[in-house]
Amino acid sequence: MCGRFDQHTLPYRYAGYVDAMLRAASDEPAQRYNVAPQTQAWVARATRDGGRELTPLSWGLVPWFAEDPKKAVKPINARYESVTTRAMFRKLIATRRCVVPVDGFYEWQKTPHGRLPYYFRLAEEAPMLLAGLWDRWRHGDAAPIESFTILTTPSNPLIEKLHDRMPAIVDRADLARWLDVKEQDAAAVSALLRPFPPERMQGYAVSRRVNSANNEGSDLIERAEPAELGELPGIAPR
């Protein structure tokens, strides 16, 4: 799954990477190393004029049909295998796909001594493009809410040491097709989502400070000393 990620790159750099117009907002998210659910994050999506925009959305999908967004379930993840059949997602997979550009994401190892965090990023240190779906909730005079969820796939051999699911990562070569709103064959675009090749990723243990969503700073993505956390076999920087 994906329950926390790192989005510290300046937004204009993300926008350039995905060839999108940066849409600024008064409440736009700052550079963050510890993005948690129910907060704002940068998301890239297609626009009606055929372009792309990078804009802040809330992490945790509020479906358009929710009567009360405060009581909505707000899923932060959705299994890509089920998005074509579940009512909440099947319209979105056809028309409201997006990517969440991140520098990396966190996953935890459960141990008798607590949860040990690990950080995963691309080996080439370029942004990861996490596949997502977005929606817009609007009701009466209430302020509209735009939100997103991150799709997941079965884990690759690197991540499965910690969890059986991982975020779906869109290859940059597939980005245009993934975001193309004219491509409404849900099965065809879902086929773009597959476990990302482990040889193109790297991961390592990081500080337990990331366990609290209240903690921030570049030290959160620095490699922890083995004496502090212990290394998980097969997961180490190249």
Q: Which residues are catalytic?
A: 2, 107
* SS3 sequence of 71-105: CCCCCCEEEHHHCCCCCCCHHHHHHCEEEEEECEE
Residue 115, amino acid: R
* SS3 sequence of 103-160: CEEEEEEEECCEEEEEEEEECCCCCEEEEEEEEEECCCCCCCEEEEEEEEEECCCCHH
Q: What is the token pair recorded at 55?
A: 């804009």
Task: Output helix, strand, coil percentages for the chain, rounded to the nearest 5.
Answer: 20, 35, 45
Instruction: Give CA–CA dist 108/5, Å, rounded.
Output: 12
Cβ–Cβ under 8 Å, residues 77 and 107: no
Residue 146, amino acid: E
Q: How far is CA 2 from CA 86, 89, 96, 158, 188, in A?
A: 20, 18, 20, 15, 24
Q: How many CB atoms lie within 10 A of CB 130?
A: 24
